[in-house]
Structure 1
């Protein structure tokens, strides 16, 4: 093995981290958004390519049952650094956001102020082909509006991996490197057809009685991936470590493990794996790649397009399976797996898969949508 460049996972670090389980977190960095303003909602929606007028057009939204712009469900990623992947302990050890299990209780409306409570829920050790020993770090976050109502709650997790080990192994992505080749004009034309066919259900109710088990949701496409697209998401989501000048210096003083030297010997943020291909390769990734919460948001985008304004997304669980490097195209398919009534709510369970243009599983998800009933 070549010389180690990065800090390692240690037993001492894990012992200190275990002491934090169940303890309320009080010292995290501030969220990207405190309030669900018109611009904040729109910027996040645009960051995932979602033009639903319920969160983009105030005049349209005021005519709905909400009487106001609504924040898309995944907007709450902007209200907590913890849910988005900011994790304590194991300084300098790489963290890859790998999934979330959301439950929503109430809609978030324009100008709602969101506060959160969070704690470390569990640590789970894994042996992986990608990086050998890996630690799954699971957090729980509760979200409240200005009235004290819990609007949502979620578990999310990151995998802490040894950067040097991942770079040396490279097993997960050896075949993927170099396989994203230029698309033909015919392929690009097919992608255009999928985008052109994308429909937003909107004001037309999708009634529970009209849905059948086994029914397929319209395919949704994302990509092909570009660094421009990754930056577009970061603009709406805020990023975890994107800071400039004095604020970058202050963060690195508080968290020395965050400052990883670039080619000029200048400390820079680990988040640059999303736009710096050379650094992404150093940590074992196939190249500059998308954000995990971004991909989770794509899955919920398919659901909100399908359910319409009168539907409500109750639950969504997303598991990230691999990186989506620059150039990848992603196709999201969903299937209704169950219909049922519970506590007077008319519910539909949906299974989702996101596949790459190379027919590789990118992400998998399950969701529960509440729909209006004709009864």
Structure 2
């Protein structure tokens, strides 16, 4: 294993930035598994409940039979939790991944395009690559590298189900720690504060089986509110249990951890007891979060993406389809923070023959900060135009998916022979 001081000093290396730029426009099969490798009634339910969504369309095996979908379907952002390793040709040596050893990274925004539902029995495969690389000075961490990465997820029939673009910021840990830009007092909630949140929870309503007709929606209509939080370590644990990961799924110690440390040494940083533990523990270990410049542990940006989609799917009802969602993660969501998530209809129109509405969304914490401004576009059923039609996958993207799936099947057959 390489020496921590020499190779993992937490600074951004010029060779890593140059290598990242070389990768732009190249896409490769994702060979790592998520917690779930296929859709199952339990995995769909657990993922939804992992961010607090009890919509029976996602959580009940039987409910969906009476909807336009004719069965249970997955929550919109299920691609965060399901991936079966995809076989593909080896990367050329000149297109290896940049190491960015010991450099902290976090999500600052996502864009989702959703093409078709994921159903029990489906498997999901992913191919991904870099779209852009940008260097920028940050008040939080000094020199940063912003990478825009595209993840295309398809089912076992090579049908694209979603495209997610994730904006990842790579930041120097030492610089972030030394600047200490974020000084935040831990949130403390009175009985009255909690009672107000309980009032929002009690008033939340899901549209469900009652169609939200396009003709009945007007610009200015409100969505929500729904409440989320106060954030606890338990919330992080349950979100992981629902399927979200990206940590190699292994304990922090023992044989599996030993193998992971040999493979991705820079992902493990010693804790106060001198034990190598995952750098990802910034999301539940406040002492470690302070070492990377944050005042305390904080959530995952994609958890708030799920909260935003929860607001939208509660509002739109069973017969609608979330076409797109785009968010900016502008502030950290710290342990003890709570959010009130709301939205507004800003436009209604016909897009490619589909009646759609455009939404503006926000998640405001107890400090009055909108930490995750977002937009979404929803296709609604229409009395004039009929049921929702799913969007078409662009031809070039469908062809790319078909080629990669064909190669996956060829390699799989060869391995069996």
TM-score (norm 1): 0.93
For the pair 1:128 / 2:138, whether they are aligned, the reply is yes
Pick the aligned partner of 1:96 from 84, 87, 106. 106
Q: Which residue of 2 aligns with 1:13?
A: 16
**Which secondary structure state, in structure 2, belongs to the residue aligned with residue 237 of structure 1?**
coil
Q: Is the 8 A contact 1:17 1:89 kept in 2?
A: no
Q: Is the 8 A contact 1:101 1:318 kept in 2?
A: yes
Pick the aligned partner of 2:256 from 223, 247, 250. 247
Q: CA deviation at 1:26?
A: 4.0
Q: Is the 8 A contact 1:16 1:89 kept in 2?
A: no
Pick the aligned partner of 1:74 from 55, 73, 77. 77
Q: Which residue of 1 aligns with 2:52?
A: 49
Pick the aligned partner of 1:141 from 151, 168, 189. 151
After alignment, is 357-366 or 23-32 more displaced? 23-32
Pick the aligned partner of 1:303 from 277, 298, 312. 312
Pick the aligned partner of 2:194 from 172, 188, 211. 188
Q: Which residue of 2 aligns with 1:283?
A: 292
After alignment, is 183-192 or 73-82 more displaced? 73-82
Q: How does 1:218-237 map onto structure 2 within 5 Å? A: 218-237=224-243
Q: Which residue of 2 aligns with 1:161?
A: 171
Q: CA deviation at 1:247?
A: 2.1
Q: How does 1:296-375 map onto structure 2 within 5 Å? A: 296-375=305-384
Distance 1:217 1:341 in 2: 21
Structure whose alpha-carbon radius of gyration is higher: 2
The change in CA–CA distance for 1:239 and 1:20 in structure 2 (over 3 A counts) is same
**Which secondary structure state, in structure 2, belongs to the residue aligned with residue 212 of structure 1?**
coil
Where structure 2 has 5 or more consecutive residues not aligned to the other structure, the ranges are 86-96, 385-417
Distance 1:28 1:265 in 2: 32
Runs of 4+ in 1 over 3 A off after TM superposition: 3-6
The change in CA–CA distance for 1:36 and 1:25 in structure 2 (over 3 A counts) is same
Q: Is the 8 A contact 2:30 2:125 kept in 1?
A: no
Q: Is the 8 A contact 2:43 2:242 kept in 1?
A: yes
Distance 2:221 2:142 in 1: 40
**Number of residue pairs matched by the alignment:** 365
Distance 2:371 2:25 in 1: 31
Distance 1:183 1:81 in 2: 42
Q: CA deviation at 1:348?
A: 0.3
Q: CA deviation at 1:124?
A: 1.2
TM-score (norm 2): 0.84
For the pair 1:210 / 2:216, whether they are aligned, the reply is yes
Q: Is the 8 A contact 2:113 2:163 kept in 1?
A: yes
Q: RMSD across aligned C-alpha pairs, in angstroms?
A: 1.8
**Which secondary structure state, in structure 2, belongs to the residue aligned with residue 229 of structure 1?**
helix
Q: Which residue of 2 aligns with 1:61?
A: 64
Where structure 1 has 5 or more consecutive residues not aligned to the other structure, the ranges are none
Q: Is the 8 A contact 1:207 1:372 kept in 2?
A: yes
Distance 1:148 1:104 in 2: 15
**Which secondary structure state, in structure 1, belongs to the residue aligned with residue 80 of structure 2?**
helix
Q: CA deviation at 1:202?
A: 0.6
Q: Is the 8 A contact 2:34 2:243 kept in 1?
A: no
Distance 1:371 1:341 in 2: 10
Distance 2:24 2:257 in 1: 29
Q: Is the 8 A contact 2:17 2:145 kept in 1?
A: no
Distance 2:41 2:21 in 1: 40
